[in-house]
Amino acid sequence: MPLGDIAATRARFGDVVRSQTLLALDGVALRRLRPDLRRVYWDTAGRGDYAELVAESRGAAALSVISRTEKASPRAYRKAVTSIPTLPRVLVRIGVPPDPTLRYGARLLYAQWRDIGLGPQLVTEPAPALDGSFGRRFAAYPQQEALPAGLTLGEGIGSRDLLLRALGASSQSSALDRYDDDLRSSARFVPVAWVVDARLVSPRLRGWREDALGDVDYAAVRSLASSRRP
């Protein structure tokens, strides 16, 4: 179901509309930029406009790869905007996948950054000499550590040492927080929004459940019509 249609579809059909925030993030990896420029991109990402694509899901905007409760800092945003005239005027080439939904979201980020005086350019992937890459990152398994593991072990983003400490800890919460703080400080990955999945599910189905990865165990699903005996 198109995410922008969730509210209207729910108003028409009621509880057959099921939506869930998944363990997945839309975000931008920044690789070739100087730290102060990365910081400004991180602090001025248009998360609010992007999250309004899923206006029916409160808290979709993301400022962390761990927590869903972080709030944006207006002070950090104002400081970043004020610093833009002191930064080098460089073109930042950001790769974007061909998926139409993601391309639309990337254009929202592009417009926000352009409006405040930054110089991004969206480039269809694959392409050479990119400064960053926008995309959707799904956790490989339903644990809080999975997104950091994918970023660091799969893409080389974030502290490997802090990640491994978190993976080996019996109580991961504080170790993952240290990893997240370090990743945020580096501004090498700009989290933008949590991914929301929306589906129409027949009221005749029983046992339909969707996990944090968006998977449904259809072996446990039963239809009231098909389960009736002759």
Q: pLDDT tens digits for 31-57?
A: 989 999 999 999 999 998 888 776 556
* pLDDT exceeds cutoff 80 at 197: yes
Please name each of the domains of the chain with its CATH number.
Answer: 3-223 (3.10.105.10)
Q: pLDDT tens digits for 70-101?
A: 888 999 999 999 999 999 999 999 999 999 98
Beta-carbon count within 10 A of 102 CB: 15
Q: Report how far residue 145's alpha carbon sits from residue 163's, in angstroms, rounded to the nearest whole number.
A: 8
SS in 3 state form for 124-159?
A: ECCCCCCCEEEEEEECCCCCCCHHHHHHHHHHCCCC
Q: What is the pTM of this model?
A: 0.88
